[in-house]
Amino acid sequence: MEENFNNLIKELKKCKICKDRFGFVPHPVVLGNINSKIVQISQAPSATVHKTLKPFTDQSGKKLKYEWYKITDEEFYNPNNFYITSLSHCYPGKDKKGNDKTPPKICYDKRIKKELNYINNKLYIIIGAKAAKVLFPNENYNDLIFKNNYINNKLTIVLPHPSPLNIKWFKDHPEFMEKRIIEVRKIINKILNEKN
């Protein structure tokens, strides 16, 4: 099983299927192992991550790690703690309006489900509306954020995207920072402190 998983990740990291679609060489970014405690799924790597090849090394990552989770880089990038992936494993480029392009369906249709079937995690964290829509297609996004959900019978937390561009959502939902993120932080820290 572990060998199959490792082969899947090697295959994923070599993927260049979207080169013509993006107009530049894609760089798949994924971090973690088959026994990662927490699986974190977002929409796609940012332009910064495309350069660093390390997930959440941008402004969104700083807010997520240091303000929301209140953990160190050592904890976040420890593959025994987090398996970090996204719907589009590569930065997809910008559309004409300057927004990140929608992740190619081929990426999350074929790969994400395979990845999730292998990992012996205790918790899923889904980040952003697009990732939530793919994984919970029939549910209201805001409702998902304020309750505990389940994927593969495992606790699943949905978070808004920590991007600085998402400021209106936070103003409209002050209860997220006042209450929900405190609950989420406790869950994350409890799991990180558990022995495998």
Domain residue spans of the chain: 2-192
pLDDT tens sequence for the chain (196 residues): 889 999 999 999 999 888 888 889 999 999 999 999 999 999 999 888 999 989 999 999 999 999 999 999 999 999 999 999 999 899 998 888 887 788 788 887 767 878 888 999 999 999 999 999 999 999 999 999 999 999 989 999 999 999 988 999 999 999 999 999 999 999 999 999 987 6
Residue 106 neighbours by CB distance under 10 Å: 13
Evaluate whether 26 touches 15 at the Cβ level (below 8 Å). Answer: yes
User: Does the domain formed by 2-192 have CATH 3.40.470.10?
Assistant: yes
pLDDT score of 196: 64
Q: Give the Cα-Cα-Cα angle 190, 134, 18 (nearest 5 degrees).
A: 110
pLDDT score of 137: 94
Exposure string of 36-70, with b = 16+ CB inside 10 Å and e = fewer, is: bbbbbbbbbbbeebbeeebbbbbebbebbbeebbe
pLDDT score of 116: 87
pTM over 0.85: yes
